[in-house]
Amino acid sequence: MISVAASYLLRDTDPVIDIRLASEEDYGPLFTLQRAAFVDEARIYGTPFVPSLDETFDEFTVRLGVSTSWVAQLERRIVGAVSLRRYREGGPDVERLMVAPDCRGMGIASSLLSTLERYAASSGETHLQLIVGDLADDNRSIYRHLGWVAQHSHQLEGREHVLLHSLRKTL
């Protein structure tokens, strides 16, 4: 089993980012980070009613309670997070990869995904899946760059104006 904590010096000029498993004490700051991180997605879709912003704190804590989640921490501040949860056929899902808006472009998302992927592989998983919105071009580009492959697309239930893509990565 690999270590679930890691430190990354992403570039010589960047501070060290520590990645560790999330704990219940992180739920408040993570909920706040989720709100900040997904405002751009709401703007892309022209509505504040995207699932990550529509989720209540209670729903958020229930979801995290059945997930394995990691946080990226810069000094004492949580600046990124990602979760792994098995809730549909086809393998475990990567969920809610998020980075604070002022910390984007530092490689935090890639480091979080790398940590999650190593954990999943060491746990015997052979592939992962995730869902990404059609208009989230930057996110889809990152995933393609990191080896994720599109599988199929579908409309978001209750929000038919949103097209979602299911992606898969072999570990």
Question: ∠ CA(164), CA(4), CA(91), 5° rounding?
Answer: 35
Q: What percent of the chain has pLDDT over 70?
A: 91
Give the strand pairing for 127-133 and 93-99: parallel
Predicted pLDDT at 5: 56
Could you read off the pLDDT of 142-164 as tens digits, one per residue?
899 999 999 999 887 777 777 89
* Mean pLDDT, rounded, for 82-102: 94
- Please give the CATH number for the structural domain made up of 6-124: 3.40.630.30
